């Protein structure tokens, strides 16, 4: 019998400490508390240090995962941070909100045993731990605060993850970058969409302040297609990146959707997050109150809305979904956290109409039970109505979280931009360039609603192409 090399015994995955469910449902503090140094090193030591790390192929920004985890295991957090920053401009953000289970961790060879290395948690730990010696080093991992490359300038429209990433890549190369944001605070969906209990606003502010220190200027209350125009920007800038997202909500299209108390998830979350309604009365921006809240949808945004409503004082929160839990697209962690906090799920149900009182205020929603039939174009079994199964669910606040589509303001003001059949900007897959020379685009305005890390990947790709053209 041939001698076989003994296999390495891998320890169990290190759990993430969290606030207790009964405590956290009453506050907007971060749910996941983060690893200690000992926990991080123990988790990093589980990495097999594969010769061909498949995890990197699952990362849209191609973080050198094996290398940074090795440094964590050795206790070299500064080195780990610098490795991450070679490709990722926003590690503290990505470590919190990226769907690692479907990306880097989904490719980890240990997933076969059900316990991949907790790459996202380690990335968050490194980002949170690292104390930069200069703001420039915090952004780029190198001293990139040199004078701008001649008079070369880049404009980024929007300040969400794709634009911030593009800005970081260009600033690293010494190019002057101006970011134009329509709202009064930079960060895009990171600020107005994702609740503080998942992504603290101080984390976003720290990343943005690092970009400022690297020479990126932010111009707020600047609406693309209104207060700023692409044709005018082209006269002043060598390249333009469009990262305005896709923030126009999709509604149900059922009777009663215009009743007082029916909101899109975009509006509701923006009121709470950007308006800081969660801090009322310290911030004088109250949100619409709801005792019995119903959320329609099954993605991460729906979970964010449901969990936010609980924290805003709702007595009951239901998530209505026309399929089963197995088909829900939300991250498993978000589903589990929602259930632990008391969110209830009305599966195999679909809304027929909203019902209001004499003053047009929402009182209930009429639902119909569904059953799963044959698969549809998405490959999932199609929901089929069950005859005679209607029932009413008391509701005074309804939140529709069915996705988003492109906002037409910038697009209508720039007819030269070629759009696809869904109304999103067509961009070269390899470079991000649009139908207008040296005008690039990335993120949700190109792909439709997707993840933060995919938007960052598009911003990085476009930024690299811009640097190649401008800097050589």
- Tell me the C-alpha distance between 29 and 24, whole Å: 7
For residue 281, say if its preceding peptide bond is cis, omega within 30 degrees of 0. Answer: yes
**Does the reported pTM lie above 0.85?**
yes
pLDDT in tens, 424-449: 999 999 999 999 999 999 999 999 98
Residue ranges of the chain that CATH labels 3.50.50.60 = 146-247+406-471, 248-403
The CATH fold of domain 21-131: Fumarate Reductase Iron-sulfur Protein; Chain B, domain 2 (1.10.1060)
CATH placement of domain 248-403: 3.50.50.60
Provide, rounded to the nearest whole percent, the portion of the chain with pLDDT above 90.
84
pLDDT in tens, 190-199: 999 999 999 9
Give the pLDDT score at 376. 83
CATH for 146-247+406-471 is 3.50.50.60
- DSSP-assigned letters across all residues of 344-385: EEE-SEEEEEEEE-TTSBEEEEEEEEEEEEEE-TTSSEEEEE
Asked if residue 243 lies in contact with residue 160, where contact means CB atoms within 8 angstroms, the answer is yes
pLDDT at residue 10, rounded to an integer: 79
Residues of the chain with CATH 1.10.1060.10: 21-131
Q: Which residues does the chain have with pLDDT short of 50?
A: 1-3, 5-6, 131-147
Whole-angstrom CA distances from 50 to 45, 67, 80, 123, 327 are 13, 10, 17, 18, 33
Retrieve residue 405's tokens.
């589509």
Give residue 195's pLDDT: 96
Element (H, E) at 337: helix 332-341
pLDDT at 362: 98
User: CA angle, corner 51, sides to 49 and 54, nearest 5?
Assistant: 80
């Amino acid at each position: 019998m041939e001698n076989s090399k003994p296999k390495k015994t891998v320890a169990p995955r290190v759990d993430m400490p969290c606030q207790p469910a009964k405590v956290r449902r009453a506050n907007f503090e971060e749910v996941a508390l983060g690893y200690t140094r000992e926990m991080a090193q123990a988790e990093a030591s589980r990495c097999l240090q594969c010769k061909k790390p498949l995890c990197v192929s699952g990362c849209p920004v191609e973080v050198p995962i094996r290398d940074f985890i090795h440094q964590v295991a050795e206790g070299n957090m500064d080195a780990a941070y610098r490795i991450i920053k070679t490709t990722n401009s926003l590690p503290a953000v990505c470590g919190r909100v990226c769907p690692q289970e479907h990306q880097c961790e989904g490719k980890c060879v240990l997933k076969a045993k059900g316990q991949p290395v907790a790459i996202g948690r380690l990335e968050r730990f490194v980002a949170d731990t690292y104390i930069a010696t200069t703001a420039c080093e915090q952004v780029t991992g190198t001293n990139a605060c040199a004078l701008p490359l001649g008079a070369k300038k880049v404009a980024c429209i929007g300040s969400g993850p794709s634009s911030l990433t593009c800005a970081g890549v260009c600033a690293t190369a010494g190019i002057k970058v101006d970011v134009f944001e329509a709202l009064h605070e930079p960060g895009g969906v990171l600020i107005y969409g994702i609740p503080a209990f998942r992504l603290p606003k101080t984390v976003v502010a720290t990343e943005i302040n690092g970009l400022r220190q690297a020479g990126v200027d932010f111009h707020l209350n600047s609406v693309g297609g209104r207060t700023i125009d692409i044709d005018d920007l082209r006269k002043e800038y060598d390249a333009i990146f469009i990262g305005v997202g896709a923030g126009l909500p999709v509604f149900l299209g059922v009777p009663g959707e215009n009743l007082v108390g029916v909101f899109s998830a975009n509006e509701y979350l923006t009121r709470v997050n950007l308006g800081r309604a969660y801090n009322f009365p310290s911030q004088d921006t109250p949100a619409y109150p709801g005792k019995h809240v119903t959320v329609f949808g099954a993605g991460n945004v729906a979970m964010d809305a449901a969990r936010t409503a609980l924290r805003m004082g709702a007595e009951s929160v239901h998530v209505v979904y026309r399929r089963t839990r197995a088909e829900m697209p939300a991250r498993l962690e978000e589903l589990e956290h929602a259930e632990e906090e008391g969110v209830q799920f009305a599966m195999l149900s679909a809304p027929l109409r909203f019902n209001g009182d004499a003053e047009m205020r929402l009182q209930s929603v009429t639902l119909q039970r569904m059953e799963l039939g044959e698969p549809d174009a998405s490959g999932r079994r199609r929901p089929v109505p069950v005859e005679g199964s209607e029932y009413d669910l008391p509701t005074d606040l309804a939140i529709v979280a069915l996705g988003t589509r492109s906002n037409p303001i910038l697009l209508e003001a720039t007819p030269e931009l070629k759009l696809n059949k869904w109304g999103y900007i067509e961009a070269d897959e390899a470079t991000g360039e649009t139908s207008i020379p040296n005008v690039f685009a990335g993120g949700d305005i190109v792909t439709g609603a997707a993840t933060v890390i995919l938007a960052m990947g598009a911003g990085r790709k476009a930024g690299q192409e811009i640097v190649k053209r401008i800097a050589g």
